[in-house]
Structure 1
Amino acid sequence: MKIEIWSDFVCPFCYIGKANLFQALAELNIDNAEIVWRSFELDPTYPANERHNHYQLLQDKYQLDLQAAIDKCAQLAHIGSSCGLNMNFETAYYGNTFLAQQLQQYATTLSSATATQINEALFQASFEQGRDLHQIDTLVDIAQEQGLDADAVRTALSTNAFATQVRVDETAAQELNVSGVPFFGFDGRLAVAGAQSIDAFKEVIQHILHHDASDDAKMLRH
């Protein structure tokens, strides 16, 4: 089974959705799924030299007062905790992730296992450690901590060697009418949008495993 995942590293729902998907796979004893990490930027125009905490983001986007924003983030942190995630919104920030997406693309060229390892490291850096994912030095450190060659990563990021691959994924998302993330594609047959529950993911996975494509329309109607 091939599962394509479009996500952004400053998106809390992406982190939660990924955790639920992986838990669904674990509960179904599936350890051979091909995971393909696709690039998506929530805001490609976000200034590279700016960063805001999620409280401020929610205040600006939804016209909330500070306490309401804090409460909403606390709810997300609680959901994350139930998925085994430690989401610290006191230090987490929202910012430009173009370079981080390029690091993900670089990791994909090494191996699928490395790509998954870097994906998790980037989410942890964003939501657990509050690290700036648009700084090359920070991304090199993250990559090196995961066993990647620091010089190779620095060269790839400083030359934007994987920028085109990021844009290709984003164009593919546009062609699929993906307006937000997370977004999950299963074997090119079914798509799931949003941070779905473990049971919802299990239902889709079991359908893919036990039905052929002619039955997909029934799944969609269901």
Structure 2
Amino acid sequence: MTVNIKVWSDYVCPFCLLAEEPLLKAVEGEDVEIEWMPFELRPHPVPTLHPEGEYLQTVWKRAVYPMARRMKVDIKLPDVCPQPYTGTAFEGYQFAKEHGKGTAYTPRVLRAFFQEGLDIGRIDVLTGIAAELGLPAEEFRRALEDGTYRQAHQDALATAEKNLIQSVPTIIVGGTHRIEGVPHPAQLRKAIDAAQAEAAMAENTAAEGAAAEAGGAPADWGATCGIDGC
């Protein structure tokens, strides 16, 4: 039975990019469906951060770069100043999702920002990404300019609020097993196994509604960005 994995992220959170590799390792060979979910750390008009500021410089030196080196992931603090709002990019995600490219869109936007230093708040940059993914570029551009998917994005943010999302990445496996921060592959695999076991048990003994528990997180993982900082 397919296990749904929802991954809440924001395109300006470096830990969301770092979460992709352990996520893909954990799901290799598994019957899962990954769904990237929107969460804005600093929605308009909350001021966004400046890359040259002490806060970001400290967080990157203390946490982001050491984890990236350990994981062998190419990442850099973009010099886009101030950092872009991500609402428009998330409207683009809703377009991509509707056109069957949602799973590819989010990792590509994260790489565009953290590996290529592109300003993902600009519609022309997002349109280039859409075209690269095989989406109809002009239709995509018009949708962002017209706000066609603005309500769909607001509905997605309401889903994040309903699930009490306060930091990213946050991963919910099978609707019940919650992991906050960059997951260790073994931790995520354990949650997948538990969700699969629960689904099988529920299918066979629906009247009893039996469920298993997923294990805890290894102590050296779990870095997140929250509304108050990373």
TM-score bracket for this pair, using the shorter chain length = 0.7 to 0.9
- Is the 8 Å Cα contact of residues 99 and 135 (structure 2) preserved in structure 1? no
Q: Could you tell me which residue of structure 1 aligns to residue 133 of structure 2?
A: 146
- Equivalent residue in structure 2 for 1:87, among 75, 94, 102: 75
Q: Distance in 2 between matches of 1:126 and 1:143?
A: 14
Aligned residue runs from structure 1 range 38-53, under 5 A? 38-46=37-45, 52-53=50-51
Aligned residue runs from structure 1 range 68-79, under 5 A? 68-69=58-59, 71-72=61-62, 75-79=63-67
Q: Could you tell me which residue of structure 2 aligns to residue 8 of structure 1?
A: 10
For 2:120, give the aligned amino acid: L
Q: Could you tell me which residue of structure 2 aligns to residue 58 of structure 1?
A: 55
Aligned residue runs from structure 1 range 111-126, under 5 A? 111=100, 114-126=101-113
Q: Could you tell me which residue of structure 2 aligns to residue 101 of structure 1?
A: 90
Aligned residue runs from structure 1 range 158-177, under 5 A? 158-177=145-164
When normalised by structure 2's length, the TM-score is 0.79
User: CA-atom RMSD, angstroms?
Assistant: 2.5
Which ranges of structure 2 fall in alignment gaps of 5 or more residues?
A: 203-209, 218-230
For 2:44, give the aligned amino acid: T
Aligned residue runs from structure 1 range 192-203, under 5 A? 192-203=179-190
- Is the 8 Å Cα contact of residues 9 and 97 (structure 1) preserved in structure 2? yes
In structure 2, the CA distance between the partners of 1:170 and 1:70, relative to structure 1 (3 Å rule), is closer
Which ranges of structure 1 fall in alignment gaps of 5 or more residues?
A: 60-65
Q: Distance in 1 between matches of 2:106 and 2:27?
A: 17
Q: Distance in 2 between matches of 1:141 and 1:175?
A: 33
Q: Distance in 2 between matches of 1:83 and 1:3?
A: 22
The Cα offsets for residues 149-203 of structure 1, whole Å up to 9 and x where unpaired, read as: 1101101110111111111111111122111111112222222221121111111
- Is the 8 Å Cα contact of residues 102 and 166 (structure 1) preserved in structure 2? yes
Structure (1/2) with the larger helix percentage: 1
In structure 2, the CA distance between the partners of 1:164 and 1:84, relative to structure 1 (3 Å rule), is farther
Cα deviation for residue 128 of structure 1 reads 0.3
Q: Distance in 1 between matches of 2:59 and 2:37?
A: 29
When normalised by structure 1's length, the TM-score is 0.82
- Is the 8 Å Cα contact of residues 80 and 118 (structure 2) preserved in structure 1? yes
In structure 2, the CA distance between the partners of 1:142 and 1:35, relative to structure 1 (3 Å rule), is same
Cα deviation for residue 69 of structure 1 reads 4.8
- Is the 8 Å Cα contact of residues 174 and 192 (structure 2) preserved in structure 1? no
- Is the 8 Å Cα contact of residues 92 and 127 (structure 1) preserved in structure 2? no
Structure 1 residue 132 corresponds to structure 2 residue 139: no
For 1:215, give the aligned amino acid: A
State the secondary structure of the residue aligned to 1:95: coil
- Is the 8 Å Cα contact of residues 123 and 144 (structure 2) preserved in structure 1? yes
Deviates more, 1:17-26 or 1:200-209: 17-26
The Cα offsets for residues 7-41 of structure 1, whole Å up to 9 and x where unpaired, read as: 10110111112321111112xx12x4222221110
Q: Distance in 2 between matches of 1:179 and 1:92?
A: 25
State the secondary structure of the residue aligned to 2:92: helix
